Structure 1
Amino acid sequence: MDETNEQVVDIRSRPFYKLLLLSAAVGALGALLTLAFIIIMTQGTQLIWEFIPQLFGLSSGTESALFIIVACTLGGLLVGLITHCTRTRPALLAEELGEFVENGRLDPRNGMVGLLRGLVGLLFGGSIGPEGPLTGGSGALGTWLAERMGLKRPVGAISTLAGMSGMFGAFLGSPFGFAMFTIEGGLEKGKLSWKLLLPSIVAASVGYGVFFALTGYVFGGGYIFPAYEEWRLLDLGYAVLLGLLGGLVGLLFIRLFKGMRSLAEKGKTHPVALALLAGLILGAVGALFPVLLFSGDAEIQVLLNDAAKLGLIMLIVLALLKVFITATCLALGWSGGYIFPSFFMGTALGLALHQMLPFIPEIVCIVCVMSGISVALLKSPIALALIIQTLFDVRLAPIIAISILAAFLLTYKAELVPATENKVPE
C-alpha cells in the first residue's frame, strides 16, 4: 500500500478528515438527487394517473381497467426502448451492490440509465420500489464526481459509497442503515474497515438532514398501524413462526424470479418485447386489483384501512399477486427495488393471518411477516431491523429481531443473484 493509501487508512489523519467532508458533500448531493427523483415521480404520477384521465371524464386512471392496461403497456414499451437504445442491462439492488463490492465504483452511464428506467416504470404503475434505481443513480453520481475530480481508488470507492449512503439516509430515514449493509456484506468477506463505515455514516446523516430540512419527510410517518397494546413474552414465540412464514413467501419470490429471469435470458436480445410483456401482465392484474399497482408504499395504508372489508381470502390473494407481478416486472427488464413491495406483501399477509388467528396481535402479525419477507430478499438482517424499527413501536424491537433471525436462518442460502466472491473495495 502506498503512502497516500496509508494516509487514508489512518482514521486520525488530516486526509481522512477531509475524506469525511467529501463524504458529507456527496451524501448531500445523493439526498438532492433523491429529492429531485421523488418530485418528478410525484408530479409525473399525478399527470399520468389524474390529469390525463380527467380529460376523458375519469376522476382517476385507476378507475378504468382500459386506462390501466394502456398505461402499463405504454410503460413497458418505454422501459424496453430505454434498454434497447442504451444497451444497458437492468440490474437488481443486489447486483448494484455487488458491482460496488467488486469494482469499487458504479458505472455512471449504467447508473443513470437505470435511474431513468426505474423512474419511467414507477410513473406507469410498476410494482417496483424506487430504492433500486436510486441506489444505482446515487452511487453512479458519487463515482462520476470522484472520477471528474481525478480521485483514485480507494477515495473513489468512498465517494460512491457516500452517494448511496446519502440516498438511503434521506429516503429510508436511517443514518446507520447503509453502513450496516456494508458491514453485513463484509462479514462474509472476512474484512471490515472503519474507513468505509465512518464516511458512510457521515454521508447518510447529512443526507437525512438535508432531505428533512427541505421536505419535513419522515420515513413511515404517514402510516397508521394498529396499536401494540401490551408487550407479551408469548409474542416472541409467535415471531418465530410468523418470521418463518414470511421467509417462505420470500423463497417463493426468489424461486419465481429466478425461473422467470431464466426464461427471459433466452429472449434477452428482445428487451422491448420482454418489457412490453411485463407491462401487459402488470396492466391485466392492475385492472382487476388497482391496489397492486406502484411500489406499495402508499397502498399499505389502503390495506390497513380496508382489511376488514377485503377479508381473509382477498388479502392472501393480494399478497401472492404482489409477489407475482413484482417478480415479473423485475425479471422482464423493469428497473426497481423490492423493499417496498415486500413491505406490502408482509402487510397484506399479516392482516390475513390476524383474521385467521385473532389471538395474535394484529401488529405482531404484520411486523413479523413483513420482516421475514424482506430479510429473505435482502439478506441484511441488522440493516433491515434498523429500517423496519423506524416504522413501529419501539417495544416491538425484540419481536422484529426474532422474526428476522428465524427467516434469515431459513433463507440464508437462497439468493436472488449469486453472491460476489470479491472483497469490499479498499
Structure 2
Amino acid sequence: MDKKQKYIHFFSLIAQWVLLGSLIGVVVGAFTTILLTTNDFLGEVREGTGWLIFLLPLGGIVIGYIYMNFGKVFMNHTLHDAAELNNLIIEGVQGKKKVLSRMGPIVYLGTFITVIFGGSTGREGAAIQMGGSVAQAVNKFFKKNKTDTKIFVMSGISAGFGAAFGAPITGAVFGMEMAALGKMKFEALVPCLVASFTGHYVTTSFFGFQHESFIIQTLPEVSMVTFAKVIATAVLFSLLSVSYCQLRHKIQTVSEKVFKKNHMKRAFVGGLIIVMLTLIAGSQDYNGRGLEMLEQSFEEEVPPFAFLAKLIFTAITLGTGFVGGEAIPLFFMGATLGNALHDFMNLPLSFLTALGMIAAFSAGTNTPLAAFLLAMELFDGKGAEFFFVACLVSFIFSGHHGLWPAQEIYQPKSRIYKVPGGKTIKQVEESKSSQE
C-alpha cells in the first residue's frame, strides 16, 4: 500500500466512524430521552402513590420472568445473558461475549418496573446497555469486523452516558475507560466523541430535556491543609464505595446460590425485604433514584446516616435481580456522606457534598479520568485541583474492587497491590477468597 492509498484508507475509516458514530448517537440519544422522561414521570407517580411500594415483590417476579425467558442466548457454546447487565457490555468490548440487540428493550422495561414500584436504582445502566445494544444492531447491519465491533460498542456506551448525564466529554472518555483498569483504547476516540456529543445534543437540544443542576456555592481556599482534608475524605469515600460494591456482589452471589439462579424468586424476596426496610425507615426517601435528597444535600443538612440507608437499599435492590443504574445511587451515597462530614472537616457544605459525589463514583467505576471530567462538566470547572486529587486518591485506595466484576485489570493501580495483570476483578476477588 503506497502513501496515497494509506491516506485514502485513513480518511475513509474516519468518515465511517463519524457517520456510524453519529447514527448511534442519534438513536441512543432518542431512546435515552425516552428513558429519562419516563423515569421522571414514573418517579413522580410513585412519590404521589405510596402504596405502590407493596407491589415491588410482584414487579420482581415480572423482571425475573423477562430475563429468564428472553434474556439468554447460547452462541458458540457460550451463554450470553442480559442479566449480566453492564458486565455483558464490558465483555462485549473485550471481545469475550456478544452484546444482545434485545438487551436494550429488556433493561428499559426492567428499569421502569423497578422505578415505579420503589426499588433503589439509577438510570445510566439502562442507557449504557441500550447504547451497547444499538451499537451491536448497527454493527450487524453494516457487517463490520470484530475490531470495529468493539469500537462501536464503546461508542454506544459513550452515547448512553453522555446523553444520560448531559456530559458529552465525560461520555466519550467513559466509553474508552470503562472496560479495563489502566488502559484506554484511543483508537475509539473519534466514534466515541461523535456518538457522545450527538447523543447529548439529541437529548438536550432536539428534545429539550433539562438535566438536574448541582451548584457548588463556596470553594475552600487552596492550601496544604485543604488538600490534606480532601485526601482524607477521598479515602473515606473510596471505602464507602468498596463497602457498597462488596455488599452488592455478596448479596447477588448468596441469592443466586440460595435460589439456584431463579431470578423470579430472588427478586420477589428482595422486593419483600425492601418493603420491610421502607416501613422501618418510615419514609420512601431511599427508594427510587433519590434525586430530591441528592439535590437537597447541596443546600442543607440531610439525615447523617442517609448514605448508609441508601447503600443498603441499593445493594439489596440490585443484588437480588432488579435493574437500573448504580451511578446515581453512588452519587447519593457520596454526596450525603460528604454532607454529614462537612462539620467535622470544616469545609463548605456544597463543596464537600460535590467532592463525595464524584470521589465515590471514581472509586466504584474505576474511571478516574471520566470522573474528573464529570466534575468539570457538572460544576462548571470549579475546584478542578481538588477534584483531580480526590478522583485519583479514591481510585487508588479502592483497590481492585468495583461495580463491574468483568472489568479487566490491564495493570495494577499501584505496586502496593500484588495483583497480576490480565485478570478480571471477579477473578482477583475469587483468588483472595480461596486463599483466606
Instruction: State the TM bucket, normalised to the shorter chain.
Output: 0.7 to 0.9
Does 1:108 pair with 2:95? no
Does 1:251 pair with 2:242? yes
Match for 1:26: what amino acid?
I
C-alpha separation in 1, matches of 2:92 and 2:397:
26
C-alpha separation in 2, matches of 1:383 and 1:346:
17
Does 1:165 pair with 2:158? yes
Question: What SS does structure 2 have at the residue aligned with 1:106?
Answer: coil
Residue in 2 aligned with 1:138?
A: 131
Match for 1:273: what amino acid?
K
Residue in 1 aligned with 2:314?
A: 326
Match for 2:102: what amino acid?
R
Distance 1:261-1:228 versus aligned 2 partners, 3 A rule: same
Distance 1:44-1:218 versus aligned 2 partners, 3 A rule: closer
From 244, 248, 255, give the equivalent of 1:264.
Answer: 255
Residue in 2 aligned with 1:53?
A: none
C-alpha separation in 2, matches of 1:8 and 1:419:
34
Does 1:125 pair with 2:118? yes
Map 1:14-413; keep pairs closer than 5 Å: 14-46=12-44, 48-49=45-46, 60-62=48-50, 67-88=51-72, 89=81, 90-103=83-96, 105-184=98-177, 188=181, 192-194=185-187, 196-217=188-209, 219-221=211-213, 223-228=214-219, 230-266=221-257, 267-287=259-279, 288-305=282-299, 307=301, 310=302, 314-316=303-305, 318-357=306-345, 359-392=346-379, 394-413=381-400
C-alpha separation in 2, matches of 1:132 and 1:211:
17
Q: Is contact 2:120–2:313 with CA below 8 Å preserved after alignment?
A: yes
C-alpha separation in 2, matches of 1:289 and 1:399:
35
Tell me how far 1:217 sits from its aligned partner. Answer: 3.8
Tell me how far 1:279 sits from its aligned partner. Answer: 1.5
Q: Is contact 2:342–2:352 with CA below 8 Å preserved after alignment?
A: yes
Tell me how far 1:185 sits from its aligned partner. Answer: 5.0
Match for 1:410: what amino acid?
F
Match for 1:368: what amino acid?
L
C-alpha separation in 2, matches of 1:331 and 1:9:
50
C-alpha separation in 2, matches of 1:10 and 1:136:
34
C-alpha separation in 1, matches of 2:369 and 2:230:
16
Tell me how far 1:260 sits from its aligned partner. Answer: 1.0
C-alpha separation in 1, matches of 2:112 and 2:6:
36
Question: What SS does structure 2 have at the residue aligned with 1:372?
Answer: helix
Q: Is contact 2:215–2:350 with CA below 8 Å preserved after alignment?
A: no
Q: Is contact 1:81–1:272 with CA below 8 Å preserved after alignment?
A: yes
Tell me how far 1:253 sits from its aligned partner. Answer: 0.8
Match for 1:300: what amino acid?
L
Q: Residues 356-377 of structure 1, C-alpha deviation per residue, up to 9 Å, x if partnerless?
A: 44x2221332123223321221
Tell me how far 1:206 sits from its aligned partner. Answer: 1.3
Q: Is contact 2:298–2:353 with CA below 8 Å preserved after alignment?
A: no
Q: Residues 359-417 of structure 1, C-alpha deviation per residue, up to 9 Å, x if partnerless?
A: 22213321232233212210000001111332225231111111111111111322341
C-alpha separation in 2, matches of 1:183 and 1:147:
21
Task: Using the TM superposition, name which of 223-232 and 129-138 deviates more.
Answer: 223-232
Distance 1:274-1:209 versus aligned 2 partners, 3 A rule: same
Tell me how far 1:94 sits from its aligned partner. Answer: 4.4
Q: Is contact 1:108–1:144 with CA below 8 Å preserved after alignment?
A: yes
Tell me how far 1:207 sits from its aligned partner. Answer: 1.4
Tell me how far 1:40 sits from its aligned partner. Answer: 2.6
Distance 1:174-1:69 versus aligned 2 partners, 3 A rule: closer
Bigger relative contact order, structure 1 or 2, given CA contacts below 8 A and separation 6+? 1
Tell me how far 1:190 sits from its aligned partner. Answer: 5.9
Q: What is the TM-score with the length of structure 2 in the denominator? A: 0.81
Gaps of 5+ in 2: 73-80, 411-421, 423-436
Distance 1:336-1:300 versus aligned 2 partners, 3 A rule: same
C-alpha separation in 1, matches of 2:156 and 2:179:
19
Task: Using the TM superposition, name which of 381-390 and 111-120 deviates more.
Answer: 111-120
C-alpha separation in 1, matches of 2:397 and 2:199:
34
Task: Using the TM superposition, name which of 21-30 and 105-114 deviates more.
Answer: 105-114
Question: What SS does structure 2 have at the residue aligned with 1:154?
Answer: helix
C-alpha separation in 2, matches of 1:179 and 1:11:
24
Backbone CA RMSD of aligned residues: 2.8
**Count of aligned pairs between the two proteins:** 395
